[in-house]
Structure 1
Amino acid sequence: MAMSADEQLRQLQAQAASRQQTSPLNQYQKQLESRPSMSQGMLNIPKREMPVYSEKDFSYFKTAQPQQPESGGMSVMCSLMHEYGYIDDDVIEVDNLFGKLLYETNPEIIVGYHAWAKPLTNFLRYHAIYIPLFAYTTQAWAYEMAEQFGIVKNRSTFSRLLGKIVMNAGKPVCGFIGSLILSMQGGYEYRRT
């Protein structure tokens, strides 16, 4: 017995519907429907009201400043980098000791160092976005000095090389600047500010 066209069409639609219910795509769509919506979040955390800010809330913006060092040591840039967490505590202690030893043996190096490092440090305190530009070279200097004291070991080759370059070039340059300053002042008496 032949089926009518309408019956054949209904039968094909029923077969398609049963296949569609068991298809991987349909199963995936059902899983998606059972998940929480993105507006609720995956953890179903309730929505909170966002605070409303006005222009006066942002009228004065200044970078958060770390505490000023209390030691008043010879280190300027390293102290700043220590305050921002770029240099470890044991390295900064050795750095202060190195500065005092260097001041006793070659005060012109410390005078020259302070001549450029103090203004730069003051600038960086109010423009902290530039600190990472100076952090790597300052770290290289500090860790090279600490390695010479035997405090730090196992540094990378590049960091070790950069530290040696900064130390071997920085001492004569700072010494030259310090000699000029001290000759203009008329003596080797230097007072820290």
Structure 2
Amino acid sequence: MKFDDGEYLRKIDVVINSLIFASHERRLAIIERCRILESKLINCTQNDLDLLIEIKYELRKIEADAYEANRHRKLYLFSALGIAAIVYGIDYLFINGLSLKEYFSYLVISVVGAFLYFLTSAKNESDAPLYKIIVALIIPFLFISFLFQKDNKVFDIWDKNLWSFILGYSSELLIKLLNKIIDKAKKVIE
């Protein structure tokens, strides 16, 4: 067994840095466990095989606990964001006088865009044939629905469905763009 204390120290740092969504108490408890593990690691030599195995499995337990701590808080956060988006959507319906059908068509088109982005950017090669089939089913439908409008128009660049799809597909790009705008505004104010 080759001993690399740097690898273990990096893993401990990764665990500590991953505690973004953990509660304050759980974060402190996990950090304390990492501190104890790090002090054991500093006093460990390559010949202390039992201690190395203990450190290895304790680190795995800490990683699992950190993952669990983050998972629960992420679930609450994303649930709250989802509810806020639904409330905003309902508010938008009433303010702008949209029909429920029209609103849900925009919502579905943007979700299809996000789904298509996920499928085309997936790195898992074993699922590639399935992804290609799904993309092959989605693209023609979208092409026809955007190209042929119901008012006998051929194509409208300002079509709300088209923009819903584009913003759903490129939501990551939109978020980065908005973050850059905020960063620039902060620099101007300072």
TM-score by length of structure 2 reads: 0.27
TM-score by length of structure 1 reads: 0.27
User: Which structure has more helix as a fraction of its residues?
Assistant: 2
